[in-house]
Amino acid sequence: MAKEELKRQLARLRAELAAARELDDETRALLDAVANDIERTLEGRHDEPHTVRERVEGATVRFQAEHPRFARVLSEVTDALAKIGV
């Protein structure tokens, strides 16, 4: 069940990324890298699972002021990662 929630949040993040026209290249690249980290975690292909969670948390803090909708999605991703033990 927790993995399904994480998959839903990843899909939501990817959809938000696809729809966001206001993002600069650096921000888009960071969010894409975070999404890729999450995907690898779901596939069991991660080196340091807690590092993935730390990167997601860091991105959440970074985006709170400038991109609050991404911060919300990333916060939910962090919760889903915690539920699967990452």
Task: Please write the tens of the pLDDT for every residue from 17-49.
Answer: 999 888 899 999 999 999 998 899 888 876 676
In the predicted model, what is the mean pLDDT of the chain?
88
59-71 average pLDDT score = 88
Instruction: State which amino acid sits at residue 10.
Output: L
Query: How many C-beta atoms surround the C-beta of residue 64 within 10 A?
Result: 14
Provide the pLDDT for residue 49.
Answer: 62
Please report which residue ranges of the chain form alpha helices under DSSP H.
2-19, 25-42, 49-66, 68-83
pTM for the model stands at 0.81
Residue 7 domain boundaries: 2-83
CA atoms of 86 and 84, how far apart (whole Å): 6
pLDDT for position 32: 93
User: Per-residue confidence at 53, pLDDT binned at 50, 70, 90?
Assistant: confident
Distances (CA, A) of 9 to 15, 24, 25, 26, 48: 10, 22, 22, 22, 20
Nearest Cα residue to 17 out of 84, 66, 56, 67:
67
Three-state SS at 38: helix
Look at the chain and report how many structural domains it folds into. 1
